[in-house]
Amino acid sequence: MDFVKLELDGSVATITIDRPKALNALNPQVLSELAEAIAQVAADPALRALILTGAGEKAFVAGADIAAMAAFSMEDAQAFGALGHRVLDSLEALGVPVIAAVNGFALGGGSELALACDLIYASEKAKFGLPEVTLGVIPGFGGTQRLTRLVGRARARELIFTGELIDAAKAKEVGLALEVLAPEQLLPHCRKVAATIAKRGPLAVAKAKQVINAGVELSLVKGNELEQRAFADLFGSEDQKEGMAAFLAKRPAEFKGR
């Protein structure tokens, strides 16, 4: 892969969008390579968490490649949008938690990429925004939907209708970012969170992610029914027996993902 780097460190993987001269902008090749990296991660049974970040000091992902998009026909735009949705949907559907380490500009498709992750941590230098209306279009990779679900309709409308950028502190205030860290502390913090997750029961973490994501689309009653089934299902796993036995024996659990 030319623009996407995948690194494995034990049970934690890191995907880096590595196109710094273009501020890591997304084009069809970058999206296709990202899809390949996500597929590799999904096929690794030992993986417990994924960190997603951008190369360089300026950008996480500064958006889609406007120079390439400027000449799009409606058919081109449909195909590009469909590709973006497929890739981000596959990221969101991963069975392990995905942590976005937003180290700089996360604009347009960059914010949408972060929104497809489970946890977002930001550098003090980060900037978020969905400025598509300044180009005469709207977010095309799920931004109108995921942002609304995360920060609420009123705030999502404000950000999308104005196209204004917000800094990391404001992103935390509105619930877009969980924490704001010094640039040199961002990746170490994300690795620490990933390492903590990696120690937990992998089947339980995966099931929790699945129930949370699916429950957003359901009524409270239906969501609670989904939770009840998932809770009961886990009692058929070896991990549940190991986890509770370890607790009672006052020792660390050794989860196998079974």
Encode the chain (258 residues) as per-residue pLDDT tens digits.
Answer: 899 999 999 899 999 999 988 899 999 999 999 999 999 999 999 999 999 999 988 999 998 888 888 888 999 999 999 999 999 999 999 999 999 999 999 999 999 999 999 999 999 999 999 999 999 999 999 999 999 999 999 999 999 999 999 999 999 999 999 999 999 999 999 999 999 999 999 999 999 999 999 998 899 999 999 999 999 999 999 999 999 999 999 999 999 988
Our answer to whether residue 132 is catalytic in this structure is yes
Same fold across 4-198 and 202-249? no
Of 170, 148, 149, 167, which is closest to residue 157 (Cα–Cα)?
148
Q: What is the dihedral of CA 48, 53, 57, 63, to 10 degrees?
A: -170
Distance of CA 175 to the CA centre of its chain: 15
> What distance in Å separates the CA atoms of residue 135 and residue 116, rounded to the nearest whole number?
23
Q: Structure tokens of 211? A: 């129930």
Amino acid at 105: F
| CATH dotted code for 202-249 | 1.10.12.10
Residue ranges covered by each domain of the chain: 4-198, 202-249
Among 112, 179, 225, 238, the one annotated catalytic: 112
CATH topology of domain 4-198: 2-enoyl-CoA Hydratase; Chain A, domain 1 (3.90.226)
Contact 156, 147 (CB under 8 A): yes
Q: Helices H, strands E: what count in the chain?
A: 11, 10
**Residue 112 a catalytic site member:** yes
Paired sense of beta strands 49-54 and 4-9, if any: unpaired
Residue 44 is predicted with a pLDDT of: 92
Catalytic residue among 132, 179, 217, 227: 132
- DSSP annotation of 176: S
Written as one letter, the residue type at 144 is T
Amino acid at 142: G
Can you tell me which residue has the tokens 């409308």? 157
pLDDT recorded at residue 190: 97
Q: Assign 3-state DSSP to the chain and report helix, strand, coil percentages, each to 5.
A: 55, 15, 30
